[in-house]
């Protein structure tokens, strides 16, 4: 893949991350110039893409980062949420992030089809092993972009994050 395409992918992805995290989780994102040595990720979330091209989009997040995102979206402490709520929340943010990125990269009129029948929470090592299958990892379309981000809570939006009770399930 040409270098300018990779640069465009990276810029579009960063823009999508900033917008998605800000709009969904009220978190400001700043991109660092260098990757800190101590950066570690716990699990990844990944979805498959079948249109406009086949591919995979994965989100690597340190535990603290995941916790901040989920707590901000739910307006609740991490410990009060059950694993289903946490999984659903992380999958939804990746879904929106991927939709934002792909729409911006390919254009609003392009049909997108993302497959996420169930959450796939792999460890980073396991995911890399999975992706490293012959005839897959070696294709030129695989790009691993890794950029460090700082997440900040910009303003107190507690009043927007309350859980209300006037909702019923159909």
Cβ nearer to another protein, comparing 100 with 127: 100
Residue whose C-alpha is closest to residue 102's, from 4, 6, 13: 13
- Name the residue nearer to another protein (CB basis): 10 or 19: 19
Stretch that binds another protein, among 1-9, 27-35, 108-116, 135-143 (CB under 8 A): 108-116
Q: Cα separation of 78 and 107, whole Å?
A: 36
Among 5, 40, 113, 123, binds another protein (CB under 8 A): 113
Residue 41 sits in the site that holds another protein (CB under 8 A): no
Tokens of 32: 């660092």
Binding another protein (rule: CB under 8 A), the pick from 20, 59, 71, 72 is 20
Among 13, 17, 73, 151, binds another protein (CB under 8 A): 73
- Return d(Cα 141, Cα 152) in angstroms, integer: 33
C-beta neighbour count of 6 within 10 angstroms: 12
The answer to the question of residue 155 lying near another protein (CB under 8 A) is no
Contact status, residue 45 vs residue 120, Cβ threshold 8 Å: yes
Site for another protein contains 105 (CB under 8 A): no
Q: How far is the CB of 121 from another protein (least distance, A)?
A: 15
Q: Is 108 in the site for another protein (CB under 8 A)?
A: yes
Q: Report residue 158 as tokens.
A: 């507690």
Least Å from the CB of residue 77 to another protein: 16
Structure tokens at 103: 């729409």
**Strand ranges in 16-145 using DSSP code E only, listed in sequence order:** 28-31, 43-51, 55-61, 113-115, 121-123
Report if residue 15 touches another protein, rule: CB under 8 A: no
Q: Could you give the CA distance from residue 33 to residue 136 in angstroms, rounded to a whole number?
A: 30
Write out the residues near another protein by the rule CB under 8 A.
19-20, 23-24, 73-74, 84-85, 88-89, 91-93, 95-96, 98-100, 102-103, 108-114, 117, 160-161, 163-164, 166-170
């Amino acid at each position: 893949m040409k270098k300018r395409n990779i640069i465009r992918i990276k810029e579009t992805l960063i823009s999508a991350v900033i917008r998605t995290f800000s709009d969904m989780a009220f978190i400001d994102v700043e991109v660092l110039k260098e990757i800190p040595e101590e950066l570690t990720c716990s699990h990844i979330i990944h979805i498959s893409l079948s249109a406009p091209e086949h591919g995979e989009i994965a989100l690597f997040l340190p535990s603290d980062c995941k916790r901040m995102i989920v707590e901000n979206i739910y307006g609740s402490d991490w410990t009060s949420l059950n694993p289903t709520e946490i999984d659903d929340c992380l999958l939804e943010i990746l879904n929106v992030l991927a939709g934002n990125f792909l729409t911006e990269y390919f254009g609003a009129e392009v049909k997108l089809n993302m497959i996420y029948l169930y959450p796939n929470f792999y460890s980073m090592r396991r995911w890399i092993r999975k992706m490293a299958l012959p005839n897959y990892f070696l294709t030129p379309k695989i790009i691993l972009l890794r950029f460090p981000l700082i997440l900040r809570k910009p303003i107190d939006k507690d009043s927007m994050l309350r859980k209300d009770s006037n909702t019923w399930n159909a």
